[in-house]
């Protein structure tokens, strides 16, 4: 196995916290970081003890986007290396996160620029520190939100917000990120980790197969006709029944009928 140099993984119960770990470079994404994230996500994918993956950054930054030197300048004359790094960068932030079998949460602890938007969009949920500095800085250095970022903006933001921030390059904070729907909500930096871990643990306590089906049902239905989606979700329901051994009927509905709990108000224990 190759050595992971730029990412750390901690575990708290059924939650894995994946930290981009180049704080001196504001966690900018070097080619090595893309390879490391590819490997870390690959390993966690099959870990049955984990239901939720939180992605965050070490130090004061979440992620300052692509490592402008390592990614764009060093590889400038090496087309093959650029292709390799580019493919890895697009895959883990795009397809891998989008269709990941675990729930993913971006915890935006600080600076978040350019290519980091694709991490945020790839995750199912996102929470920012009020004080985070966030921006589509590309236009400020004569380029545009390319690679996977254009599509991330189109997926997540309103046309007005995407183009306003894409065209001005103005930085904004976590509160504004919540207003425009880039994140679910923002909270003071001081309590961010505790807040996100509480959310992650609340979700991680639910049934792993049902969490996965919730994601898949939403993500895949987006690209389907109504008919195809109905057929898909019915098949998905059979798959869930198989994966759980019928737990949603026996324990889930059974517990409600036995008056053990009310699913509208609380979750089934265990």
By the rule CB under 6 A, 6 interacts with ligand ACO:
no
Q: How many CB atoms within 10 Å of residue 49?
A: 10
Partner residues linked to 128 by β-bridges: 108, 186
Residue whose CB is less far from ligand ACO, 69 or 260:
69
By the rule CB under 6 A, 111 interacts with ligand ACO:
yes
Cα–Cα distances (Å) from 177 to 74, 106, 186, 260, in that order, read 32, 13, 8, 40
Q: Can you give the three-state secondary structure of the chain, one letter per residue? A: CCCCCCEEEEEECCEEEEEECCHHHCCCECHHHHHHHHHHHHHHHCCCCCCEEEEEECCCEEECCECHHHHHHCCCCCHHHHHHHHHHHHHHHHHHHHCCCCEEEEEECCEEECCHHHHHHHCCEEEEECCCCEECHHHHHCCCCCCCHHHHHHHHCCHHHHHHHHHHCCCECHHHHHHCCCCCEEECHHHHHHHHHHHHHHHHCCCHHHHHHHHHHHHHHCCCCHHHHHHHHHHHHHHHHHHHCCHHHHHHHHHHHCCCCCCCCCCCCC
Give the range of 41-49, 106-114, 187-195, 205-213 binding ligand ACO by CB under 6 A.
Answer: 106-114
By the rule CB under 6 A, 157 interacts with ligand ACO:
no
By the rule CB under 6 A, 137 interacts with ligand ACO:
yes
Of residues 41 through 70, those in contact with ligand ACO by CB under 6 A are 64-69
Of residues 78 through 97, those in contact with ligand ACO by CB under 6 A are none
CB of 93 to ligand ACO, least distance (A): 11
By the rule CB under 6 A, 153 interacts with ligand ACO:
no
Give the range of 112-120, 156-164, 203-211, 245-253 binding ligand ACO by CB under 6 A.
Answer: 112-120
Give the range of 91-99, 111-119, 177-185, 214-222 binding ligand ACO by CB under 6 A.
Answer: 111-119
CB of 34 to ligand ACO, least distance (A): 12
The answer to whether 134 and 173 have CB atoms below 8 angstroms apart is yes
How many residues form the binding site for ligand ACO (CB under 6 A)?
15
Give the range of 22-30, 34-42, 226-234, 255-263 binding ligand ACO by CB under 6 A.
Answer: 22-30
Residue whose CB is less far from ligand ACO, 59 or 255:
59
By the rule CB under 6 A, 76 interacts with ligand ACO:
no
Residue whose CB is less far from ligand ACO, 90 or 210:
90
- Kindly report the CA angle at 269 between 266 and 270, in degrees rounded to 5? 150
CB of 22 to ligand ACO, least distance (A): 8
By the rule CB under 6 A, 236 interacts with ligand ACO:
no
CB of 12 to ligand ACO, least distance (A): 28
Select the residue whose beta carbon is closest to ligand ACO and give its number: 114
Interface residues toward ligand ACO, by CB under 6 A = 25-26, 28, 64-69, 111, 113-115, 137-138
């Amino acid at each position: 196995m190759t050595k992971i140099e730029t990412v750390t993984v901690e575990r708290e119960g059924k939650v894995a916290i994946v930290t981009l770990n180049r704080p001196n470079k504001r966690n900018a994404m070097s080619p090595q970081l893309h390879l490391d994230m590819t490997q870390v996500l690959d390993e966690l994918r099959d870990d049955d003890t984990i239901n939720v993956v939180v992605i965050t950054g070490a130090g004061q930054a979440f992620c300052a986007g692509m490592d402008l030197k390592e990614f764009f300048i060093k590889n400038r004359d090496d087309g093959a290396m650029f292709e390799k790094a580019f493919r890895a960068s697009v895959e883990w932030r795009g397809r891998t996160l989008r269709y990941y079998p675990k729930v993913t949460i971006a915890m935006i602890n600080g600076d978040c620029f350019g290519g980091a938007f694709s991490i945020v969009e790839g995750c199912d949920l996102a929470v920012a520190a009020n004080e985070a500095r966030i921006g589509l800085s590309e236009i400020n250095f004569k380029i545009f939100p390319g690679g996977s970022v254009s599509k991330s903006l189109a997926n997540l933001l309103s046309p007005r917000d995407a183009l306003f921030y894409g065209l001005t390059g103005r930085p904004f904070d976590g509160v504004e990120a919540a207003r425009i729907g880039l994140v679910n909500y923002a909270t003071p930096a001081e309590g961010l980790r505790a807040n996100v871990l509480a959310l992650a643990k609340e979700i991680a306590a639910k049934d792993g197969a049902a969490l996965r089906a919730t994601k898949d049902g939403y993500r895949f239905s987006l690209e389907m006709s109504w008919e195809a989606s109905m057929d898909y979700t019915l098949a998905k329901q059979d798959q869930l029944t198989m994966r759980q051994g019928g737990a949603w009927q026996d324990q889930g509905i059974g517990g409600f009928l036995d008056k053990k709990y009310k699913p509208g108000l609380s979750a089934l224990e265990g």
